[in-house]
Amino acid sequence: MSTPSPSIPASAPGARLIRTLGLVAAVSGLLVVLTDRITAPYIAANRRAAVEQAVSRVLPGAVRRADFVLTPDGGLAPASAGTKGQAVYAGYDASGRLVGVAVQGAARGYQDLVRVLFGYSPACHCVVGMTVLQMAETPGLGDRAKSDPAFLANFRALDASLNEKGSALAHAIQTVKHGSKSSPWQIDAMSGATITSKAVGRAIDASAERAVPAIEHHLDLLGGAR
Q: Are 58 and 119 in contact (CB under 8 A)?
A: yes
* Average pLDDT taken over every residue of the chain: 87
Q: What is the pLDDT of residue 29?
A: 76
Instruction: Please tell me the distance from the alpha carbon of residue 8 to that of residue 113, in angstroms, as a whole number.
Output: 55
pLDDT at 1 over 70: no
Q: Which residue has the higher pLDDT, 201 or 137?
A: 201
Query: CA 149: distance to chain centroid?
Result: 21
Q: What is the pLDDT of residue 42?
A: 61
Whole-prediction pTM: 0.79
pLDDT at 142 over 90: no
pLDDT at 107 over 70: yes
Instruction: Please tell me the distance from the alpha carbon of residue 19 to that of residue 99, in angstroms, as a whole number.
Output: 63
Quick one: average pLDDT of 187-211? 96
Query: CA 134: distance to chain centroid?
Result: 8
- Domain locations in the chain as residue ranges: 42-223
Q: Are 72 and 100 in contact (CB under 8 A)?
A: no
Q: What is the pLDDT of residue 226?
A: 41
Instruction: Please tell me the distance from the alpha carbon of residue 167 to that of residue 114, in angstroms, as a whole number.
Output: 26
Q: How many residues does the chain have?
A: 226
Q: Are 137 and 67 in contact (CB under 8 A)?
A: no
Instruction: Please tell me the distance from the alpha carbon of residue 189 to that of residue 15, in angstroms, as a whole number.
Output: 62
Q: What percent of the chain has pLDDT over 90?
A: 64
What count of other Cβ atoms lies within 10 Å of the Cβ of residue 53?
Answer: 11
Q: Which residue has the higher pLDDT, 139 or 217?
A: 217
pLDDT digits over 37-91, tens only? 776 666 656 666 777 788 999 999 999 999 999 999 989 999 986 788 999 999 9
Q: Which residues contact 214 (CB under 8 A, 6 or more apart)?
A: 70, 74, 75, 76
